[in-house]
Amino acid sequence: MYKYDEIDQKIVDERVTQYRDQTRRYLAGELSEDEFRPLRLQNGLYIQRHAPMLRIAVPYGLLSSKQLRKLGDIASKYDKAYGHFSTRQNMQLNWPKLEDVPDILADLATVQMHAIQTSGNCIRNITTDQFAGVAPDEIVDPRAMAEVIRQWSTFHPEFALLPRKFKIAVSGTKEDRAVVQAHDIGMEFYLDTNNKIAIKVWVGGGLGRTPILGTVIREHLEWQHALTYCEAIVRVYNLHGRRDNAYKARIKILVKALGIDEFKRQVEEEWSHLKDAPNTITEAELARVAKHFEPMPYEVLPQHDASFDTAIASNPAFAAWAKRSLHAHKIAGYRSVTLSLKPHGHAPGDATTEQMHIVADLADQYSFGELRVSHEQNLILADVKLSDLYAVWQKARAHGLASPNIGLLSDIICCPGGDFCSLANAKSIPIAMAIQMQFDNLDYLHDIGEIDLNISGCMNACGHHHVGHIGILGIDKDGSEWYQVTIGGSQGNNASIGSVIGPSFSADEMPNVVQKLIDVYIKERNAEERFIDTVRRIGVTPFKTHVYADKTVAKNEVPA
Amino acid sequence: MSNLIQITNGKAHISNDDWTLVKLPASQVEVRKQAGKIVLFKLTGEKTVSDEQVANTVIPSNGKVIVPLSVLIARKAELQARIDKNEVGVWLDTHEVLLPLIENQADLNRLPIIVVHVERFADGRIFSIGNLLRTRYGFKNELRAVGDVLRDQLFFLKRSGFSSFAIRADRNAVEAIASLNDFTAPYQGAVDEAQPAFRRYNRIA
């Protein structure tokens, strides 16, 4: 993974000094609330319901074991000994003290980490595929370019105070796992007809209040121009994005208002001046950064491992876990392992200090000392030998990290919601837990098969509810919490935004609503058909009819 | 004491101001709301200055004056002699577009100073405006930020091409100077240093 040189280290060290002074001035009354707000937000610090929340950057989801161990230490030293992994592949602390944040940042800087631009109206953490570099369907390893873009976006002076937040995702696989179409800019790397790395650029995607999938603004961009082309896009946005209304301030609204043709014309006009400027990426720089992402020193192994095959055959629990948790690897004899942070009845994405230390140990022992955070809020050991999987499973299971539910209904994507977040309209974690308890039978979960259930506590959509096969959105109606349900959303190449099935539900109705949706699917599905496929084939109506049938009856019931 | 920071030959210092900033006469500003909130930022290109305001703007008859962009354009003939004597600068708001200025003043460098007024510090359009004036339109003279100018934005303003900063009156400009150098080796090329780190240093993997 990328290792800091003196220049990188100096930037994070100077950030600690800068932020320490900003905090001091705020506490001394020299900075007003309004003046301090963007400063703390651009350092990931929210003022939340119970305490501040600090979002720590995990660039494109990649961590070393040393970094994860430090995150665990920080969670225990400054917080309640757990952290929450988010859908932007970051880690959040729910209970730090505002006064402690400069010290937390100083601790993070010792392991080449920071909280820069994890919130606020600026370019946020660059995200990508959690299987980058190891996925068999990968065409271009996106990590070096992600790092080049990270450095460019860090304290970019022109884009320090944009109309609204700005998210960039990159991907280099056949099957998109980075949801590039749901980002302000999505970059899809591919090899062009000259076998050179090229970029298909998407713009104006985003979830939130107005979910829109991105539009292709450029089919072919040579990789050298990635930064200057982004500068052209973000400049047009910075100057013309709507600052008068926070709900209409994202780039997607500007793109829609101008139309893609006019927006593209303006971007290309800007770019005609920026093209070939010094920010054009050099071969030498890409090569320097790419050196940090060279393949691991893999052993030459056969496709199969007898001990693994025996364990699968003789241990159903291990087999059930392996079926859900292993991902194909481009090197023979290796697998990527997803460690579930979704045990039933726990807050999705949370990990304790002890679990972080255990995962760091597993990474050291079995996966070259590195791991990844997925946007589905799980942790990944990317490079495990088949012969080590049983040992990994045993240790992971002993520490609650081996729920065999990856990709299944209970592998819920969920934001912190109303329990923690001051933006939320409704709680999300208790809904997730209630659904997990409703579907607590493993055989049944496997029978239901692959399904994405995503929950957001408000329309800011941190839980990506629009692209869940089932999406649940917390809303506020006259001061009480209600839940709106969508179906048919999807991430990936064939991304779609879900359709609302009808009027919203109360919290205690939710497990039963999900149950009814699943019942319709089980009844209607063809062989090998996933939930999303059935929804696409038969449409929303049969689901809607079944879910609301009882509701009408219930409403008509006259109390005795 | 002056609250103006100027960078000359790479050194920042407090300096006295010999320019007079000419303001438009006050106008009735209606409070607008969007999504239930008072609108704080004007839209780019929104017309906010009336012909009457332009006509009624009082320009001091002597000394160096910085006039509003709308006044410079509408009353150019009246100002031309003083422009030729290097006694006229122009100021614009962050929601104003640059094109009318460029069309009106073919050689921007005939203006000794351009001022950008930022009504609220969180309005990042000022950075793009600075960048465009320097890199696109080749403006070489003093570029000043005025208005809600605070120390925590100075580093970005400097990198976007600004060379002087009128710190908001209730803040300490002497202390603010330190923030011009919050970071010593930024990553990306910008106005003050066009070369990105990967071209400035021999970075070894």
SS3 state at A379: strand
As a whole-number percent, the residues of chain B with pLDDT over 90 amount to: 91
Q: Is residue A543 part of a domain?
A: yes
Q: What is the pLDDT of residues B133-174, one digit of tens each?
A: 999 999 999 999 999 999 999 999 999 999 999 999 999 999
Give the pLDDT of residue A322.
97
Interface residue of A10, A244, A273, A281 to substitute, partner B, most B CBs within 10 Å? A244
| CATH for A323 | 3.90.480.20
- Residues A393 and A419 both lie in one domain: no
* B173 to chain A, closest Cα gap in Å: 13
Which CA distances in Å does A448 have to A210, A289, A435? 30, 43, 14
* Alpha carbons A346 and A339: distance in angstroms, whole number: 15
Which chain B residues have a beta carbon less than 8 Å from that of A287?
205
B121 to chain A: which residues are within 8 Å by CB? Answer: 35, 161
Write down the architecture of domain B4-19+42-183 according to CATH. Alpha-Beta Barrel (3.20)
- Say if the Cβ atoms of A289 and B205 lie within 8 Å: yes
Residue A115 lies in a domain: no
CATH of the domain at A500: 3.30.413.10
Place of tokens 């990856």: A406
3 state SS of B91: strand
HEC assignment per residue over A8-33 = HHHHHHHHHHHHHHHHHHHHCCCCCH
Segment 92-121 of chain A within 8 Å of chain B by CB:
121
Assess contact for B176 and B5: CB atoms under 8 A. Answer: yes
Q: Do A279 and B37 touch (CB under 8 A)?
A: no
SS3 of A559, please?
Answer: coil
Residues in A 268-307 with any Cβ partner in B closer than 8 A: 273, 277-279, 281-282, 284-285, 287-289, 291-292
Domain boundary among A109, A125, A154: A109
Closest C-alpha among B41, B166, B84 to residue A248: B41
Sheet containing strand A62-64, strands side by side: A62-64, A370-373, A379-385, A334-339, A326-328
CB contact under 8 A, B124 and A161: yes
A:B CB pairs within 8 Å: 138
Residues A140 and A277 in one domain: yes
A420 shares a domain with A363: no
- Check whether residue A89 and residue A234 sit in a common domain: no
Give all strands (DSSP E) within A331-451, no chain letters.
334-339, 350-352, 370-373, 379-385, 413-414
Cβ neighbours of residue B31 closer than 8 Å, sequence gap 6 or more: B38
Query: In this complex, which of A161, A240, A245 lies closest to B35 when CB atoms are compared?
Result: A245
Residues A100 and A166 in one domain: no
Pair A352, A213 in one domain: no
Same domain, A151 and A260: yes
Q: Which of A268, A291, A314 lies at the terminal end of a domain, its last residue? A: A291
Query: From the CA of B2, how many Å to the nearest CA of chain A?
Result: 19
Any long-range contacts for A284-287 (C-beta under 8 Å, 24+ apart)?
A284/B198, A285/A148, A285/B198, A285/B203, A286/A144, A286/A145, A286/A148, A286/A223, A287/B205
- The helix (H) or strand (E) run that includes residue A274 is helix A260-274
| Nearest CB to A273 within list B35, B127, B136 | B136
Q: Chain A: residue nearest B172 by CA?
A: A30
Q: Do A282 and B199 touch (CB under 8 A)?
A: yes
Burial degree of A470 (CB within 10 A; 0-12, 13-18, 19+)? buried
- A277 → chain B, closest CA residue: B194
Q: Which of A14, A38, A154 sits opposite B187 (nearest CB)?
A: A154
Residues of B within 8 A of A257 (CB-CB) are none
Residue of B nearest to A151 (CA): B187
> Contact, A83 vs A349, CB < 8 A?
no
Q: Indicate the residue of B186, B198, B201 with minimum beta-carbon distance to A155.
A: B186
Nearest-5° Cα angle at A120, A119 to A121: 130
Query: Using the beta-carbon criterion (under 8 Å), do B183 and A35 form an inter-chain contact?
Result: no
**Do residues A330 and A138 make contact, with C-beta atoms less than 8 angstroms apart?**
yes
Within a domain: A297 = no
User: Domain limits at A44?
Assistant: 6-109
- Give yes or no: residues A423 and A551 share one domain: yes
Residues A345 and A418 reside in one and the same domain = no
Under DSSP, the state recorded for A43 is T
Which one of B34, B124, B199 has the shortest CB-CB distance to A244? B34
User: Does A314 reside within a domain?
Assistant: yes
- A258 and A391 belong to one structural domain: no
Residue B199's closest chain A neighbor by CA?
A: A278
| Structural domain contains residue A296 | no
B178: number of Cβ within 10 Å? 13
Q: Is the pLDDT of residue B113 over 60?
A: yes
pLDDT (tens place) for every residue of chain A, 560 residues total? 999 999 999 999 999 999 999 999 999 999 999 999 999 999 999 987 667 899 999 999 999 999 999 999 999 999 999 999 998 889 999 889 999 999 999 999 999 999 999 999 999 989 999 999 999 999 999 999 999 999 999 999 999 999 999 999 999 998 888 889 999 999 999 999 999 999 999 999 988 888 899 999 999 999 999 999 999 999 999 999 999 998 899 999 999 999 999 999 999 999 999 999 999 999 999 999 999 999 999 999 999 999 999 999 999 999 999 999 999 999 999 999 999 999 998 899 999 999 999 999 999 999 999 999 998 999 999 999 999 999 999 999 999 999 999 999 999 999 999 988 888 999 999 999 999 999 999 889 999 999 999 999 999 898 999 999 999 999 998 889 999 999 999 988 888 999 999 999 999 999 999 999 999 999 999 988 999 999 999 999 999 999 999 665 444 444 44
Substitution target from B187, B193, B200 for chain A, most A beta carbons within 10 A: B187
Q: Of A257, A256, A201, A207, which Cα lies nearest the Cα of A233?
A: A201
Is residue A316 assigned to a domain? yes
At residue A203, the 3 state secondary structure works out as strand
CA distance B78 to B80: 6
> Do A419 and A552 belong to one domain?
yes
Contact A151 B122 (CB under 8 A): no
Look at residue A128 and tell me if it is in a domain.
no
And the tokens for B114? 């351009």
Q: A220 to chain B nearest CA, in Å?
A: 24
Residues of B in contact with A288 (CB under 8 A): 198, 203-205
Number of domains observed in the structure of chain A:
4
Which pLDDT value is given to residue A49?
67
Q: Do B122 and A158 touch (CB under 8 A)?
A: no
**Looking at beta carbons, which residues of chain B come within 8 Å of A151?**
187-188, 197
Question: Which of chain B's residues have a Cβ under 8 Å away from the Cβ of A278?
Answer: 189, 194-196, 199
B128 neighbourhood in chain A, CB within 8 Å:
158, 235, 238-239
ipTM of predicted complex = 0.97
Residue A406 lies in a domain: no
Cβ(A11)–Cβ(A153) below 8 Å: no
- Do residues A438 and A537 share a domain? yes
Tokens 């002074």 label which residue? A21
The answer to whether the CB atoms of A243 and B136 lie below 8 A apart is no
State the Cα–Cα distance between residues B168 and B145, nearest whole angstrom: 10
Tell me, what's the pLDDT at B55? 96
